[in-house]
Amino acid sequence: MEKKASGPLRCLVTGAAGFVGSHLCERLLALGHTVAGVDNFFSGRRENLDPFAAHPRFFFHERSITEPGLLEDLHKAHGPFHTVFHLAAIVSVPYSVEHPEETYHVNERATVRLLNDAEKLGVRSFVFAGSAAEYGIQDRMPLREADAGDGTRWLSPYGEAKYRATMAVASRRRRPRGVSLRCFNIYGPRQDPSSPYSGVISRFVDMAVAGRPLTVFGDGLQTRDFVFVDDVVEAYRHAAASADESANGPCGIYNVGSGRPTAIVDLARLICRLTERPESITFCAERPGDIRHSTASIEAISRDLGWAPRIGLEEGLRRTIQWMRGAAQPTGVKASPDGDGSENKPRREL
């Protein structure tokens, strides 16, 4: 049975100043919910908050998720939370290799503590930002949720810590009900091309808009699964509603992607065409440690939550290019909320 929340809810978003977190906050506010956002700006950006920072139902706290008593303090300040969206993390794979203990502390142990505190404070649903990095090195595509396990060959502490946190969240059999979303290559507006945490699309678009050659590592035939940020936000909302409705048993782990592989060199050519630039691609040596192929199976999330991506790669790139071209003065502009998706089949939504 499909359900929607009966009225406005109070939500907590950790990593609120991040690329995805800021889009999620903006969408929740547009739907009438109250949002408390937490970020310590380790990788988040203050300007990501600008479109909604002055919203009367948005409350921001510059704090770390590793602080003991964080959720209790926020509970006292704002009242009980219906849903916690936990996106804050160390997101850099190279950083996790250099700082493994810090990565496990932030990405795993802080998540478990937040989950336990959520139980004590009566939170109903807990949605965690898992990662495709949880799959490590895999030979078979597309990747299905059961492909990650204790025998996985992880490439970094980041992937292993995310896997451990995912298992803690999704195996929970009491409130708050937990869902982990293993997102693949997310892209879209607000993804900073200058950041070491940024993805290939933001860097390619930045190069193309500036008229510079696009740099491809290796032969360019490696593939990735790209999903637009607005679709990812909708997946978070559907996951929250699913967790809220679940009465017993574990809720689940779901891949979030397009389900379609795209070769990096084809992506570069497409961006050149969409930016109306001459095709100028520079090939460099392959980077050590890069996986060859990564594609999500999205059968489970489509079957269980009724979610599917609505924005194809070309349309998503057009929106990203448009934003990048206007990003010289992006702050202080009120972004328009997305459509409500009413043209699609009914889905579970928060």
Question: Whose structure tokens read 């006292």?
Answer: 76
Catalytic entry in 158, 163, 187, 254: 158
Helix (H) or strand (E) run with residue 181 in it: strand 177-183
Tokens representing 337 are 């909320």
What distance lies between CA 344 and its chain's CA centroid?
Answer: 22
DSSP per-residue codes, 243-280: HHH--SS--EEEEES-S--EEHHHHHHHHHHHTT----
β-strands 185-187, 83-86: how paired? unpaired
Whether 158 sits among the annotated catalytic residues: the reply is: yes
First-last CA distance in the chain = 14
209 burial level (CB within 10 Å; 0-12, 13-18, 19+):
middle
d(CA 67, CA 220): 42
Active site residues: 158
